[in-house]
């Protein structure tokens, strides 16, 4: 099947070494993030990435910030590597594709893989919704780092791409008023999305049920900026500390089940009907069950004090809000694609996840075409390109 060039709602920028050295105010640069080439080993346990200097370790380019050392990992810059060579080894910029961190090289890699446009989250130093800065103790420096990152995205990463690199920003999560202020600034700069944690309550922030985030959701709804929620931004609370890495690799998408259910029953979409949300790496196959169960609970189990559902505040069933306010992204889910009649093809987006382990680069377009070959051409085109282009207001 012939399909259009892809529009990916989930790719990543490997943070270039110069961002904070060149963009922080002069008085903060000495305390800001910087890259050093060190020798050592790293550990990625339950999402906590650490690096220890050792004489017999690997050479690595390592971020020094907030008293910590955070290396670049091969799994986070894996594009072009054979799958059996991808591991958690720390690496240098010299060992990874230039497309991971250089916008011109990224556009060339996108051309190779048949990708028309790409929405890019931060990578594993900044973390996917900026947690590295939001949980740092020096809030003046953290806010400056967040603004510097966003300025880099719009002024360097996206500039000159003719709209193909789509600006996604981060906001200070420790203060809703500051988050609103930064969101307004990003909207004025024509950002198309803001990254938000999938489970803020798990990482010590107010839940979406609290109403605390409503001012931020209001700004995003009124300016058409998508709230993007990436797997891993809420951690993996069910993961045993001694579990092999295979467990989160299989189960990560089930985090999105809680995220989606929280969103559907929070009343947020009733309060902000224009709010658009996108779940990155959610995959698809579990969603029809959750929607079916959610609708059953809404219709049949709504006794006072039993489920806490206020139908005055939530007048439509959960599946209705899903169809109007939620989009979901996958990179490999044949089961989910077989359930499109129960899911709704208009909510489904194909992602390339460059340069992470799951990316099919350089054969992204061919891989997508194979996965949607059983669908009619119009539906296939919507899933791999048109749905995302409409959601993020991309002219392709």
Give the model confidence (pLDDT) of 307-334 as tens digits. 788 888 899 999 999 999 999 999 999 9
Judge whether residue 49 has pLDDT over 80.
no
* Predicted confidence (pLDDT) per residue in 338-396, tens digit: 999 999 999 999 999 999 999 999 999 999 999 999 999 999 999 999 999 999 999 98
**Reported pTM:** 0.96
| H or E element at residue 43 | strand 34-45
pLDDT at residue 47, rounded to an integer: 53
Per-residue pLDDT reduced to its tens digit, 79-136: 999 988 888 899 999 999 999 999 999 999 999 999 999 999 999 999 999 999 999 9
Q: Domain ranges in the chain?
A: 6-31+97-391
CA dist., res. 379 & res. 368, Å (int)? 13
Digit-coded pLDDT (tens) for 140-167: 999 999 999 999 999 999 999 999 999 9
Question: Torsion over CA of 284, 289, 290 and 293, rounded to 10 degrees?
Answer: 170
**Local confidence band at 176 (pLDDT 50, 70, 90 cut-offs):** very high
Mean pLDDT of the chain: 95
Q: Around Cβ 375, how many Cβ atoms within 10 Å?
A: 18
User: What is the assigned CATH class of domain 6-31+97-391?
Assistant: alpha beta
Q: Where are the alpha helices (DSSP H) in 114-165?
A: 131-134, 139-152
Give the dihedral sign, CA 316/319/320/325: positive
């Amino acid at each position: 099947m012939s399909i259009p060039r892809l529009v990916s709602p989930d790719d990543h920028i490997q943070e270039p070494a110069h961002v904070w050295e060149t963009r922080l105010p002069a008085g903060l640069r000495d305390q800001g993030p910087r890259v050093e080439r060190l020798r050592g080993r790293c550990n990625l346990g339950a999402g906590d990435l650490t690096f220890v200097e050792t004489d017999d370790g690997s050479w690595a380019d390592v971020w020094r910030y907030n008293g910590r050392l955070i290396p670049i990992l091969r799994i986070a810059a894996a594009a072009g590597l054979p799958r059996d060579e991808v591991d958690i080894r720390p690496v240098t910029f010299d060992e990874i594709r230039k497309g991971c961190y250089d916008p011109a090289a990224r556009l060339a890699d996108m051309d190779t893989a048949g990708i028309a446009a790409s929405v890019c989250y931060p990578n594993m130093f900044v973390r996917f919704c900026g947690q590295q800065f939001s949980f740092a103790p020096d809030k003046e420096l953290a806010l400056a780092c967040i603004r510097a990152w966003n300025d880099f995205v719009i002024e360097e990463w996206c500039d000159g791409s003719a709209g193909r690199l789509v600006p996604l920003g981060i906001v200070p999560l420790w203060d809703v008023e500051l988050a609103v202020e930064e969101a307004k600034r990003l909207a004025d700069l024509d950002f198309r999305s803001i990254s938000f944690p999938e489970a803020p309550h798990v990482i010590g922030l107010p839940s979406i049920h609290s109403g605390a985030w409503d001012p931020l959701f209001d700004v995003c709804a009124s300016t058409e900026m998508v709230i993007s929620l990436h797997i891993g931004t809420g951690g993996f609370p069910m993961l045993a500390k001694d579990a092999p890495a295979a467990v989160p690799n299989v189960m990560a998408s089930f985090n999105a089940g809680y995220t989606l259910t929280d969103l559907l029953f929070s009343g947020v979409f009733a309060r902000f009907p224009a709010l658009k949300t996108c779940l990155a790496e959610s995959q698809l196959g579990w969603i029809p069950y959750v929607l079916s169960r959610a609708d059953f609970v809404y219709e049949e189990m709504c006794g006072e004090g039993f489920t806490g559902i206020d139908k005055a505040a939530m007048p439509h069933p959960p599946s209705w809000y899903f169809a109007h306010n939620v989009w979901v992204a996958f990179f490999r889910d044949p089961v989910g694609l077989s359930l499109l009649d129960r899911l709704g093809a208009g909510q489904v987006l194909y992602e390339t996840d460059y340069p992470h382990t799951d990316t099919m680069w350089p054969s992204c377009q061919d891989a997508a075409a194979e996965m949607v070959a059983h669908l009619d051409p119009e539906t296939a085109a919507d899933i791999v390109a048109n749905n995302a282009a409409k959601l993020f207001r991309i002219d392709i």
